[in-house]
């Protein structure tokens, strides 16, 4: 176990978990591993980290083993210069992480870019994924979706690169804009999303994933084309309907793909569902986990 010095800005009362490190080929991945029992693996997106899942980890780790890594370039993980930071890199490292820890019969909890990153693992290893819990995300090409194309074009441009790296724009400005109720994002909590990126060089990953929203359309389409491999898996969807990007239309697509879904829609919640719902998400997830015990096996 490598020694890890946690930054002083991390509020131990909000995030009271032991920090651990996994040595990926490109750098150290920070993660938390709390509790015992069935594995719940929380996969975050852009520009968040395992901190976003803290309420679920605290509320479920008395009955489950809750594991939440920070992708390279995010949270408390290393942020080496010169990496692509494309979603395929994170997907490869997630697969390495799961294999190295020997995780079996996993329930994947996915959000934002954590959707395709986790979905990629599930498609490659359907026999090892017991359930899916889906927050606002998509795992298909967004080409032709005007809002997504405009966002990716603007943020992925040289000007967007400058703004992201110079002003830490993604966590500083984008997170509040896609919250359903901005009052839920207190200044203290907001700082936990801003401070993982203290220097321009440390902010490359946030820009790359914004650019990849359209740039990696072929990879995303290849994931969705294989979705039938997971057709029998129990799925719970928790959708924040005030999300301007991943709202009701994306929910309908998930529901069509997984007819045996269990859906909870929240009209006043925005994109960062786990952050906004907080402890209120624990009970419905617990109910889903206890109700759906069957492992369907590979499709």
> Which residues pair with residue 299 across a beta bridge?
none
Q: Are 115 and 132 in contact (CB under 8 A)?
A: no
pTM, entire model: 0.96
Q: Encode pLDDT of 236-277 as tens digits.
A: 999 999 998 887 888 999 999 998 899 999 999 999 999 999
Does 271 qualify as catalytic in the annotation?
yes
3 has catalytic annotation: no
Active-site entry in 30, 44, 192, 271:
271
> Of the residues 44, 78, 112, 192, which is catalytic?
112
Give catalytic status of residue 243 as yes or no.
yes
Of 265, 280, 202, 272, nearest to 44 by C-alpha is 272
DSSP assignment letter at 28: E
Residues 78-136: pLDDT tens digits?
A: 999 999 999 999 999 999 999 999 999 999 999 999 999 999 999 999 999 999 999 99
Kindly tell me the sign of the dihedral angle through the C-alpha atoms of 75, 108, 275, 147: positive
- For residue 193, CA distances in Å to 46, 48, 88, 129, 190 come to 10, 6, 23, 29, 5
Least confident of 143-147, 214-218, 287-291: 143-147
Q: Which of 243, 249, 280, 292 is catalytic?
A: 243
């Amino acid at each position: 176990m490598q020694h890890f010095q946690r930054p002083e800005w991390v509020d131990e009362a909000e995030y009271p978990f032991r920090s651990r490190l996994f040595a990926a080929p490109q750098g150290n991945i920070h993660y938390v591993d709390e509790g015992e029992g069935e594995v719940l693996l929380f996969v975050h997106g852009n520009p968040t980290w395992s901190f976003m899942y803290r309420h679920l980890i605290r509320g479920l780790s008395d009955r489950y083993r809750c594991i939440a890594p920070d992708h390279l370039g995010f949270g408390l993980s290393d942020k080496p210069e010169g990496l692509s930071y494309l979603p395929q890199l994170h997907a490869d490292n997630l697969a390495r992480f799961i294999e190295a820890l020997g995780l079996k019969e996993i329930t994947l909890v996915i959000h934002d870019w954590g959707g395709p990153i986790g979905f990629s693992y599930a498609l490659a290893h359907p026999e090892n994924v017991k359930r899916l819990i889906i927050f606002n995300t998509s795992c298909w090409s967004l080409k032709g979706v005007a809002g997504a194309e405009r966002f990716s074009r603007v943020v992925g441009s040289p000007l967007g690169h400058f703004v992201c790296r110079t002003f830490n724009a993604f966590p500083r400005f984008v997170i509040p804009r896609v919250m359903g109720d901005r009052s839920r994002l207190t200044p203290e909590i907001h700082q936990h999303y801003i401070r993982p990126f203290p220097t321009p060089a440390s902010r490359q990953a946030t820009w790359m994933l914004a650019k990849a929203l359209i740039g990696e359309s072929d990879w995303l389409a290849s994931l969705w084309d294989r979705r039938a491999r997971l057709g029998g898996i129990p799925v719970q969807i928790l959708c924040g309907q005030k999300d301007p990007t991943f709202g009701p239309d994306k929910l309908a697509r998930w529901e069509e793909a997984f007819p045996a879904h269990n859906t909870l829609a929240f009209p006043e919640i925005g994109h960062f569902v786990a952050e906004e719902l907080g402890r209120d998400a624990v009970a419905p997830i617990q109910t889903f986990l206890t109700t759906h015990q069957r492992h369907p096996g590979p499709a």
